[in-house]
Amino acid sequence: MNKKKASFICFLVWFTGIILLIVADQAAKYWAVSKLKGTSGMTLITGVLELQYLENRGMAFGMLQGRQMLFLVLCIAFCAVMLWLFFRIPKTGYYIPLILVGGILTGGAAGNFIDRAFRGYVVDFIYVSLIDFPIFNLADIYVVCGGIALVILVLFHYRDEDFDFIKK
């Protein structure tokens, strides 16, 4: 298999993964809107985990309320950078973790982008009542877990020179 074909297949797998993450996020949000909106919520584990409908017009923890255009522009820029990085990164086994994390981050950003673009707010519905954590959604989980994985990879797996592909 030539290098161009392998790169295209890698892109298809990466992009398909992102689409699957987005579909799961949007399906969960659709369910939350149809089953939780207008209700007092649903307890899954008493005192630990609940599902509660919330329309978040801000970003993490409700910061910067009402700045939807800013979030839309930032998300488009982020996704463009991720796409640019995908095409720059060497398609070797060594970089697969970085490629996967990039896809997870992109899926999370795109999931919340869709909400902001079409609803004007992000649907949040997962509430960890045990620690009174702010209500969040699947896309938020993708972004947080992807961000943590990225930090771990940068600190413990890759070396500075492994990112020389960015400078080329």
**Is 140 considered catalytic here?**
yes
Question: pLDDT of 22-50, one tens digit each?
Answer: 999 999 999 999 999 999 999 999 999 99
* 72-122 per-position pLDDT tens digit: 888 899 999 999 999 999 988 999 999 999 999 999 999 999 999 999 899
Q: Does residue 115 carry a catalytic annotation? A: no
Pick the catalytic residue: 124, 160, 162, 164? 124
Give the percent of the chain with pLDDT over 90.
77
Question: Of 25, 115, 132, 140, which residue is the catalytic one?
Answer: 140
Please state whether the predicted TM-score (pTM) of the whole model is above 0.75: yes
State the Rg of the chain over Cα: 18
CA distance 54 to 70: 21
